[in-house]
Amino acid sequence: MVYDDQSATTKKPEPDKLAQFWASEIERYGRGTKKWDDQASAVVKIYLDQHKNQNSSKRRFALLWSNIETLKPAVYARTPVPVVSRRFKDADPVGRKASEMLERAIKTSFDLYGVDDVMKLVRDDRLLAGRGTAWVRYEPSFEMMGGQNDGKTIENDTGEPSEAQSYERLASEKVCCEFVHWSDFGHTLERTWPEVRGAWRKVFLTKEKVKQRNFKNEQAALRLTYDVRAEYAEKYGGGDTDVCEPQCVIYEIWDKIKHRTLWLDKEKGAILEDGPPPLNFRNFWPFPLPAYGTCATGSLIPVPDYKYYQDQAEEIDDLTNKIADLTMWLRMRGLIGVGPSSEGGDALAKLMRMEDSLNNQASSNNVLIPVESWSGFTEKGGIGGLVDWVPLDKVMVALKGAIESRQQLINDVYQITGISDILRGETDPNETLGAQKLKAQTGSRRISTTQRDLARFARDLAELVGEVIAEVFQPETIAEMSGM
């Protein structure tokens, strides 16, 4: 369905048509990102070691986990520190003081409302799925004043005093930075962000929260479907409502073309609320430009980094399993004769069984085994003559080849990802200082793009928080947050 922009400027579209339009856009986004969604889900399962099945290798080399844990502190290590300054350094004491006040208020908000935790989650989504997103939200709280509680009186229209009426007063306000999981965020499918018309996120609300939210379309809010989220149902075995409360799924949609914000019940095809954006951001969007992995110039659908070395990682897992199987063969095995004509074979078999028993008991007792025909035992060459040992030389050759092949594949992965020995804390004592510096520069250069992108994301997040504080917060709140 095509939504006519020109007609909408003069006549407001019917709610059902508007809901149908955005529901179709969400479905279109789901179809367009199906491949990436499957890839990202598979990568997360590999990272959490939840991908094994009956056909999987018994042993594996945790390469993805190792790479991600190495990159985490390299691309984001500490809480971002906001810096607010004037564009031009003119002699403006009021502007300088206002910048200092806003900088303090943003820093206070970052410290109080867990921006560091949000940034870590965004970083993890960026490294695993290829896209990290967060959302900025203004949250005021009110308290009831007046009435019989304080006994105050106010003047009526005639100027005569009357009993005080109850009213709400702003008690506190805060600006929150909320992490949005990569699977809960979406937008209209375009080539670049300036072309994107609308973006949305899934909001999961309980009945109590829906009641507190007080949507304008009360009838549609009463028809919402509440269920236990899939991840909770899987974790708690079928969705035990005593453990997790059922929630409904609502789409919060921001339409940049119409400059509107909508709350959509996609399942019922109903608009719960439609109106101007609750916050007036300079770039309209209530979120920074997502932190992306690899994207082509004609698409905003990313590719997880793991896909570029997945083939090597699977070969490494296969070789690791083979190495484990070959290692099991590295045990002394042989054939011996037993019976009356074995000339000491029975004694040797008894010795081997007793050695196994002593090894299991961690005992160091001396062992003496009697031999019935000592002369025959010595004539056959003793133990060496009685046992035909299974050769291990071919096993050792195969094991050595498997280890070397796996190491070469691991080096190939490090070449693809750009994770140098320096980043992994490994050095060669025979290398020169210049070689080690070159490795450090190469490794930092490959990850510098991700570092800069996360720094840009943190900066944009601070800008959005600063806009809310400067434009919405009460002067008393700003003064309290800044200590000025």
Distant-in-sequence, close-in-space partners of 158: CB < 8 Å, separation ≥ 6: none
Give the pLDDT of residue 3: 45
Encode 320-359: b = buried (16+ Cβ within 10 Å), e = exposed.
bbbbeebeeeeeeeeebbeeeebbbbbbbbebeeeeeeee
Between CA 399 and CA 330 the distance in angstroms is: 10
| Range 278-282 average pLDDT | 92
Region of 130 (left: φ > 0; alpha: ψ -120 to 50; beta: rest) is left
Ramachandran angles phi, psi of 141, nearest 5°:
-130, 145
Any idea which residue has 């005593």 for tokens?
242
Contact present, 461 and 123 (Cβ < 8 Å): no
| Range 169-179 average pLDDT | 89
Give the CB-side neighbour count of residue 197, counting CA atoms within 13 A: 12
Give the pLDDT of residue 434: 63
Percent of the chain with pLDDT over 90: 44
Q: Is the pLDDT of residue 53 over 90?
A: no
Between CA 248 and CA 206 the distance in angstroms is: 6
| Token code pair at residue 365 | 């007792």
One-letter amino acid of 185: F
Average pLDDT of the chain? 80
Give the pLDDT of residue 5: 46
pLDDT, tens digit, for every residue of 329-367?
777 666 555 555 555 556 556 655 555 554 544 444 555
Encode 373-400: b = buried (16+ Cβ within 10 Å), e = exposed.
eeeebeebeeeeebbeeeeeeebeeebe
**CA geometry: angle 247, 23, 234, nearest 5 deg:** 35
CA dihedral 86, 89, 91, 96 (to 10 degrees): 30
Of 163-177, 197-211, 214-228, 291-305, give the lowest mean pLDDT range.
Answer: 163-177
| Range 439-451 average pLDDT | 72
Give the pLDDT of residue 8: 43
Between CA 318 and CA 323 the distance in angstroms is: 9
Give the pLDDT of residue 4: 47
DSSP code of 150? T
Q: Is the pLDDT of residue 235 over 60?
A: no
| Range 294-309 average pLDDT | 92
**How much is the pTM?**
0.78
- Helix, strand or coil for residue 203? strand
Q: Is the pLDDT of residue 261 over 60?
A: yes
Q: Is the pLDDT of residue 435 over 80?
A: no
Between CA 399 and CA 322 the distance in angstroms is: 8
Residue 260 confidence class, pLDDT cut points 50, 70, 90? very high
Q: Is the pLDDT of residue 239 over 90?
A: no
Angle between helices 63-75 and 393-417 (to 10 degrees): 30
| Token code pair at residue 419 | 């994770």
Whose CA is closest to 431, among 417, 445, 420? 420
Give the pLDDT of residue 438: 60
Q: Is the pLDDT of residue 425 over 50?
A: yes
289 or 421, which is more confident: 289
Strand spans (E) along 128-195 = 131-145, 153-155, 161-163, 167-180, 185-187
Any idea which residue has 């190792």 for tokens?
66
Give the pLDDT of residue 362: 46
Residue 243 confidence class, pLDDT cut points 50, 70, 90? low
Residue 181 confidence class, pLDDT cut points 50, 70, 90? very high
Q: Is the pLDDT of residue 55 over 80?
A: no
| Range 462-470 average pLDDT | 95
Distance of CA 204 to the CA centre of its chain: 18
Between CA 449 and CA 291 the distance in angstroms is: 11
Q: Is the pLDDT of residue 441 over 80?
A: no
DSSP code of 148? T
